[in-house]
Structure 1
Amino acid sequence: MAGLPLRGLIVGMANDQSLAWGCAEALRADGAELAVTFQGDKARSHVEPLAQALGAPIFLPLDVTAPEQMEALFTEIAARWGRLDFLLHSVAFAPKQDLHGRVVDSSVEGFTKAMDVSCHSLIRLARFAEPLMAEGGSILTMSFYGSEKVVPGYGLMGPVKAALEASVRYLADELGPTGIRVNALSTGPVRTRAASGLSHLDELIRLAAEKAPLHQLVTIEQVGHMAAFLLGPKARFVTGQTIYVDSGYNSVSG
């Protein structure tokens, strides 16, 4: 809304190394007011100091597989703010056994869990956010190059992220008439807690730094700057896109 600070929801912050934290810092620096969630009591001790540093007026638990928590979160946002300008979805998970094995050997349960947490949770959040974005808004999720090309060690998350990016395009089409934009931000490899579960992370990071045209790794701060742009009014005609911020790694073959 013109003249008012943007108000947005950050989902998926785990600690100060999270992509979501880099994004939240950049958004707050641009004057946005933020609602922050945490997953469970164990995560709370890491996330609460960050929420306090951001001055977040809304700080609530959210397990994206718990419908009652999601409903309670959006009920609080509606009661306190009455609107939502943007939503950042930075959530990914796959059971370790399925993540470290071959895709062809993945279990039904593991594949379903990974798809539910990493992909369908975006759809559920978008459904709750839509009524609060009556005057338009922006939704952003996090992806990775392994959605497009085979990346050794990325395994099951490759098909899951591909589904996430396809979901972004369909959500953009469905929500576009009401002024809601939906995009994905595909980052280079970053040492986050979620990425630490990958079996070949060290090699992936080495190759990315070696092969990327800029010959350096992307940082959570750089990811945050791009996220703040995509979630803000200057990107108001950008939707349905997967935007790369990876030092150009995706443009190099092999």
Structure 2
Amino acid sequence: MNFDELKIFLDEKADFYNNPEFIEHDPIQILHRFSLKQDVEIAGFLSATISWGNRKSIINDAEKMMNLMENSPFDFVKNASRKDLSFLEGKSIHRTFNGEDFREFILNFKRIYQENDSLENLFLMKENETNYYHSLERFRTQFLGENLHRSHKHVSSTYKNSSAKRLMMFLRWMVRKDRKGVDFGIWENLNQKFLSIPLDVHTGNISRKLNLIQRKQNDWKTVEEMDLVLRKFNAEDPAKYDFALFGLGVSKDF
């Protein structure tokens, strides 16, 4: 396919997969159970954090976390103490993300929300930045804090050339605005034109089949390689193509 044909194809697929039916089978459904901004943020970040492996398993384990927080994430976080969270020790949450990791994340949330009304403040971009490479690293540093803990491995570092797929997916949920009813677009101070595709096995494999990227690794350099192409297709909303690429990969339509 030439440039124009590929753009038409991806626009059609993005429009096809970006609809409320997508929610039913995706971890984003967990966020759609809440209306309070902070509840959506916490549910979103936790759901994104465990988003690797089988989607059904991810959804079930995200539900488990919401139940452990009494289905009121923000209220639970505000009132939790380390002693209160002792019941999480030894609990299995999702694969290598365990009860201890969950406890540390809750305490990190509490610290952050004592100083900020929204997680958005930790992702703000600086002048002359054209993607979220530095923003994601600044967030990681502020969220995890200074105390080393095994939970740190669950927040990717772009400075270590990670594609930061789960963080980028969380950003898409929070930042991207359209009228389709899937993404939330509740963060007003971040621009969706700087979003990148959450690069994983599905989006990476389909992108190579379509010759959008040439690199073999699913890392940050490949994210930037893909940015160059997708921003030519749609400079104001490049992340919409996540629906096309992920949808094609999961459905095996292509």
Give TM-score, length-normalised by structure 1: 0.33
Greater helix share, structure number = 2
Greater strand share, structure number = 1
